[in-house]
Amino acid sequence: MFVLHTIFLYIHILSAVVSIGPLFALIPTLKKMQSAEEALLGGFVQSFQSAITVVKHAGHVLVLSGVVLVLISGWTWTTSWILLTIAVAAGSIVFLARAFKPTLKTFGTKEFNKEVFIAKLRKATWQYILLLLLMLWLMVAKPTLW
């Protein structure tokens, strides 16, 4: 059981890194998008979409490995930090769906405005980073809140 726990803990930690790391890489991408000509923005937008896809799929692995860890460990579903992590994770799933996709879909349409587009992506990126950092803190600190 110890080996199984160790393997899933490693998978869980690795998926946490992969789910947050690409977001930090998007910050310089957004900076480059500001000065790029609109003809070159397509490559940046595609990179942005790819990074969000990686984050999303790493999040799936993160959730599944977290479920397995709770099932094979001594933690219960009613533990405060686990419940709060689940709540934040659920909120982040809704946020991820609403924050990036609608904005990214405007690229190449008549509604596209480069400055507004980049500002929305930058704001959403930082908000999502903060949500993930909150979940990371809950999983690392494991605060007992009740």
| Domain ranges across the chain | 2-141
CA atoms within 13 A on the CB side of 29: 21
Q: Which two tokens stand for residue 97?
A: 């769906």
pLDDT for 39 = 84
Instruction: Encode the chain (146 residues) as per-residue pLDDT tens digits.
Output: 789 999 999 999 999 999 999 999 999 999 999 999 888 899 999 999 999 999 999 999 999 999 999 999 989 999 999 999 999 999 988 888 888 989 999 999 999 999 999 999 999 999 999 999 999 999 999 999 88
- 3-class secondary-structure state, position 36: coil
pLDDT for 133 = 94
- Using alpha carbons, list the distances in angstroms from residue 69 to 4, 66, 89, 133: 9, 5, 16, 20
pLDDT for 98 = 87
